[in-house]
Amino acid sequence: MNVIIFGPPGAGKGTQAINISNKLNLFQVSTGDLLRSEVKNKTDIGKDIENTISKGDFATDEIVNDLIKKVVFDPEKKNKLIFDGYPRSLSQAKNLEILLKKSNQKIEFIFFLNVKKETIIKRIEKRSLLENRADDNLSTILKRYDAYMETTKPVLDFYSKNENFYEIDGSEEITEISTKIEQILSV
Ligand code: AMP
């Protein structure tokens, strides 16, 4: 089963993706993690995107699509993918459709974690204290939220027509959100 989980930064996508991947034995595909790992390992891509990411801007579709392609075509991960943070733009969504079609896969469930800006700000402030992530200062948070709204809204419109699309209230407690998602997935 392949799943997409998306929503604004700080909506709890990562937490829910980890929970689902543990329950269903899926591979969490977090483009944020993939990009941060490039930066950490000082690869050519990493050097290229370091500033972009720390400012809260998006990496280019070219870079992200390339990273995703490797994962989608990894035989070990076939039909066991949970996308977290991808697709974030309409062109990424269309690219994913193409990659899935070529690799004979499809998406079974699409979850949109919807959450208000104020809740997100509070959560990310808390996470910054706990994890000390360089991209998590307040102005970055606001920029990421606005960038999200601008580029991801068309993704929402694209997927919301799909019969496997589920909108979940992301301002609820983490465990309640998990329960709702698990009920839909019947696990
Ligand atoms: P995240 O961990 O999902 O919040 O992502 C952290 C940062 O990585 C984002 O603010 C973007 O700069 C970058 N990023 C993550 N996923 C994508 C994507 N699909 N497209 C472009 N940039 C991304």
33-67 tens-digit pLDDT: 999 999 999 999 999 999 999 887 889 999 999 99
Residue identifier of the C-alpha nearest atom 14 of ligand 1: 32
Determine whether the shortest distance from the Cβ of 11 to ligand 1 is under 6 A: no
Determine whether the shortest distance from the Cβ of 28 to ligand 1 is under 6 A: no
Contact 125, 131 (CB under 8 A): no
Question: Ligand 1 centre from 148 Cα, in Å?
Answer: 10
Domains in the chain: boundaries: 3-179
* Least confident stretch, 23-32, 84-93, 147-156: 147-156
C-alpha closest to that of 99 among 73, 74, 64: 73
Superfamily of domain 3-179: P-loop containing nucleotide triphosphate hydrolases (3.40.50.300)
Determine whether the shortest distance from the Cβ of 124 to ligand 1 is under 6 A: no
Q: Is the pTM of this model over 0.95?
A: no
pLDDT score for 37: 96
